[in-house]
Amino acid sequence: MPQKQRLTRQQMANRLAQEFQDGWLVNLGIGIPTLCSNYKQADKQIIYHSENGVIGYGSICPRGQEDHHLVNAGGQYVSLVEGASIIHHADSFAIIRSGMLDLTVMGAYEVAENGDFANWKTQGRRGGGIGGAMDLAVGAKRVFIAMQHTLRDGTPRVLERCTLPVTARGVVKLLATDLGLFEVSEAGLLMREIAPGYTPEEVQAVTAARLTVADDLKEMTV
């Protein structure tokens, strides 16, 4: 029987990065999404955008090779690629709000089967800061989400409806978790790919949304 193997954070990022198209301007949010820039795409030119004003950066720098003046939105040291620009924070948000972004990849606490997502406030937390998430959610042409499928205690994070304060409604197009790749459609969540060794029934058991399974469902390889 195949060994069950949940995807790592980098593997989730890699899988979403495979969906990026040549010439796209892509914003990468804090957390797992920042790892997308580590995925090498020799046949595509992807321009990575960061909220803090770095446009056109590459992979996260190994220890000892950092430029301490150059970080992504998550505060990780990154490298620049040819043609990169450093712009004012306000100009970076002007790009977001003008609709120039082809895609934003964000993390989330919860994603609902109708494409709603919540990523700025947890249960019982007083206050909270939504940051640029709301601008990105409505300003980008597409929204992808990368997150763990469950909490540490096994509680589902993929839901029929979000229970936390929603960041934006109906905007998520694609969701990558450590258990699969899911497409948001009018019929709900379509599972296109599945983590090695798992069955659709096992994924459904830790999902609080109804899943449909693609006819050509395949194992995730990244």
- For 156, phi and psi rounded to 5 degrees? -65, 145
Question: Which of the 8 DSSP states describes residue 150?
Answer: B
In the block, tokens 């043609």 appear at: 83
82 assigned to active site: no
Of 51, 110, 113, 193, catalytic = 51
Q: How far, in Å, CA of 138 to CA of 15, rounded?
A: 23
CB 16 within 8 A of CB 173: no
Among the listed residues 187, 189, 183, 184, the one whose alpha carbon sits nearest the alpha carbon of residue 207: 189
Among the listed residues 43, 105, 50, 42, the one whose alpha carbon sits nearest the alpha carbon of residue 79: 50
Tell me which residues are annotated as active site.
Answer: 51
